[in-house]
Amino acid sequence: MKLKILTIMTMVLFTAFKPFIASAQFSEAEIKAVYIEKLTRFIDWPAETHMADTIQPFILGVIGDHTFDTILNEVFSVLKIKNKKVEIRYLTNFKNIENCNLLFIAKSEKQSLPEILNYTVGHPILTISDTQGFAEKGVLINFYIAENKMRFEINQAAVKKSQLMFDSMLLNNARIVNRVE
Note the pLDDT tens digit of each residue in 85-116: 999 999 988 778 888 999 999 999 999 999 99
Give 152's contacts (C-beta < 8 A, 6+ positions apart): 35, 39, 141, 142, 143, 144, 174, 175
Residue 12 has pLDDT above 50, yes or no: no
Q: What is the fold of 2-177?
A: Rossmann fold (3.40.50)
d(CA 41, CA 119): 24
Number of Cβ within 10 Å of residue 161's Cβ equals: 15
Contact 100, 88 (CB under 8 A): no
Residue 4 has pLDDT above 60, yes or no: no
d(CA 11, CA 128): 21
pTM of full prediction above 0.75: yes
Tell me what pLDDT residue 27 has.
81
Angle made by CA atoms 83, 67, 81, in degrees to the nearest 5: 5
d(CA 83, CA 138): 28
pLDDT in tens, 118-164: 999 889 999 999 999 999 999 999 999 988 888 999 999 999 999 99
pLDDT in tens, 26-48: 788 888 988 999 999 999 999 99
